[in-house]
Amino acid sequence: MGSFLNRSETEIVKSEIAKQIYTVSHLVGSFQLRSGRISNEYFDKYQFEADPILLNAIVKQMLTLIPSDIEVLAGLELGGIPIVTLLSHYSGLPAVFVRKEAKKYGTSRLAEGVQINNRKVLIVEDVVTSGGQIVISANQLRQLGAQIDYVLCVIDREEGVIDKLLAEGITLLSLLKRSDFPN
């Protein structure tokens, strides 16, 4: 009985988070996505990531989705960085910050933070559409020795990314899906 009540409370909180994200970040118009596709709607992730109260609520819900064998959290530049920072704080798991490409100066690293070689790494992203950057970053992190089986995101736009990631051996875990928001 307690387990059922906890699930209900979680769903209530999750549905309220969905409403708040939609209110502050859902835009209508014509937007070119990273994939090159044009969409008539857009989730401006920086609007919910810049709100400390909303971001905190999002991350606390995401904690329950972290697989138990994960050793390192990897936030993708730029939108995954605020999320992974708070996830690391609340979970106690170390983080790495993953650039789109290795910097050309200083340490010349792709992934800044703790060592990922021979460690189970969870990629953290904000809004996922095609998964293109996830696939690129996962392959780069695997070349550095990371074991990548999962990616965790705030919003899955439900545009076929699950199959694309599964083809790469990656399971998508999402806090919210496009279908959780109004049409």
Whether residue 62 contacts residue 87, with contact meaning beta carbons closer than 8 Å, is answered with yes
Angle 57-60-61 (CA atoms, 0-180°, nearest 5)?
A: 90
Residue 127 assigned as binding residue = yes
**H-only helix segments in 26-125:** 45-49, 52-62, 80-91
Residue 132 assigned as binding residue = yes
Residue 157 assigned as binding residue = yes
Residue 79 assigned as binding residue = no
Pairing of strands 38-43, 72-76: unpaired
Question: Which structure tokens are listed for 36?
Answer: 């090159």
Residue 103 assigned as binding residue = yes
Residue 100 assigned as binding residue = yes
- Cross-strand partners of 174: 153
Residue 125 assigned as binding residue = yes
- Cross-strand partners of 112: 97
Residue 126 assigned as binding residue = yes
**108-110-112-116 Cα dihedral, nearest 10 degrees:** -120
User: Could you identify the residue written with the tokens 């909303």?
Assistant: 54
Residue 128 assigned as binding residue = yes
CA proximity to 125, closest of 161, 93, 89: 161
Residue 131 assigned as binding residue = yes
Residue 163 assigned as binding residue = no
Residue 119 assigned as binding residue = no
Cα–Cα distance for residue pair 30/41, rounded to 1 Å = 7
Binding residue ranges for orotate: 129, 157
Binding residue ranges for 5-phospho-alpha-D-ribose 1-diphosphate: 34, 99-100, 103, 125-133
Binding residue ranges: 34, 99-100, 103, 125-133, 157
